[in-house]
Amino acid sequence: MQAPLYQLEGVSRCYGATRALDRCSLSVPSGRVTGIAGPNGSGKSTLLSLLAFVERPDEGRVLFQGQEEHPFSPAVRHRVTLMPQTPFLLDRSVFDNVSYGLAVKKDRTDVAGRVRRALTRVGLDFDAFSGRRRNELSGGEAQRVALAARLILDPEVLILDEPTASVDAASSFLIHQAILAFAALPGKTVILTSHDAAWLDSVSDEVLFFFRGRRVTEKMGLMLFGPFAKDPASGMWAAGTGQGTIVVPEPPSADAVAAVPERCLRMGREEGAHEAGFDAEVRETALQKGRTGARVILTGAGFPLTLSCPANQLPEPGRTVRVSYPLDSVQWL
């Protein structure tokens, strides 16, 4: 088996009293698309800035191809490129923005041809866009210009923090296509985050899930943030939003978060003994990259949840289905 591209060993990163990453150990393979998922504040951006060698860990080591590397290490400079969550565009033309990294490297070979090809990869026409300035671009176009400015550098590792945040469906699709085309080139690795679970699934070979600065090794389909209340009649604890409740075992602490692994959520049948259930509305369905299964995204009792099912058994969006889970499958995070 090929050695991993990255290995993180007990990595922590703190901002004052906040442990953004907490003794995190994981590996990222080379030549694949690795998605990073998790709720707000779970440490995704912090992880990406360490993988991009923009920041240093406070504890632990970040190994790249088996060697511990740091910001400005020659071994990683020009090989790893990060597109941050809100990429900065210079108040200059699109051409200047896309070619900026080449100018910094004093690389003057066929700059116009390379800008043209980079813009084409993100679905922007060179003649229509290369002369435009930052304020003449929509949010989605600006995001694609920022992506083109990374693609032109031809990095080995492309790291993208929320590349589709606040872009429309058309830009999101074009970014998706550009990432897959890049990832299909020999020796390229992509690591990216997104809050759009279906989009992330459709572009990633594997998704790593984060919560409170740590990797959760199991894929969670449902997460329930408190407060949890005990129903005096049944004696059962439940999370609720005013749109229904979801039953859980007794919470271990006031700030605990309940999670149900995706593999434990069943759709379309009544709950059996030692199981609980709730009605959920199907919001969206999506095929998973390279897999025969599909992903179903639902809302139940006001909470979003995801589960997978065979592609030939997908329910229609808008339908209400029963979702059940064994009570002892609930984990406390």
Ligand X SMILES: Nc1ncnc2c1ncn2[C@@H]1O[C@H](COP(=O)(O)OP(=O)(O)OP(=O)(O)O)[C@@H](O)[C@H]1O
Question: Which parts of this chain interact with ligand X (CB under 6 A)?
Answer: 15, 18, 20, 38, 40-46
- Tell the smallest beta-carbon distance from residue 51 to ligand X (Å): 12
Q: Minimum CB separation from ligand X for residue 172, in Å? A: 17
Q: How far is the CB of 311 from ligand X (least distance, A)?
A: 29
Nearer to ligand X by C-beta: 213 or 221?
213
Alpha helices in the chain (DSSP H): 44-51, 94-104, 111-121, 126-129, 139-151, 169-183, 197-203
Residue 131's nearest CA partner among 116, 143, 144 is 116
Say how far residue 156 (Cα) sits from the centre of its chain. 19
170: left (phi over 0), alpha (psi -120 to 50) or beta: alpha
Measured from the CB atom, the residue of 53 and 95 that comes closer to ligand X is: 53
**Cβ at position 30, least distance to ligand X in Å:** 23
Q: Which one, 45 or 241, has the nearer CB to ligand X? A: 45
User: Is 151 strand, coil or helix?
Assistant: helix
Q: Provide φ and ψ at 202, rounded to 5°.
A: -75, -15
Three-class SS of 243-290: CCEEEECCCCCCCCEEEEEHHHCEECCCCCCCEEEEEEEEEEEEECCC
Buried b (16+ CB within 10 A) or exposed e, 92-115: ebbbbbbbbbbeeeeeeeeeeebb
Closest contact distance (angstroms) between CB of 36 and ligand X is 8
Q: Which is nearer to ligand X, 95 or 303 (CB)?
A: 303
Our CB check for ligand X shows the closer of 86 and 120 to be 86
20 versus 82: smaller Cβ distance to ligand X? 20
93 DSSP 8-state letter:
B
As a dihedral over the C-alpha atoms of residue 101, residue 104, residue 108, residue 113, rounded to 10 degrees, the angle is: 10
> For ligand X, which is the closer residue by CB, 41 or 315?
41
- Least gap, CB of 71 to ligand X (angstroms): 15
At 141, list the tokens.
Answer: 């176009």
> DSSP secondary-structure letter at 166?
T
Minimum CB separation from ligand X for residue 260, in Å?
A: 21
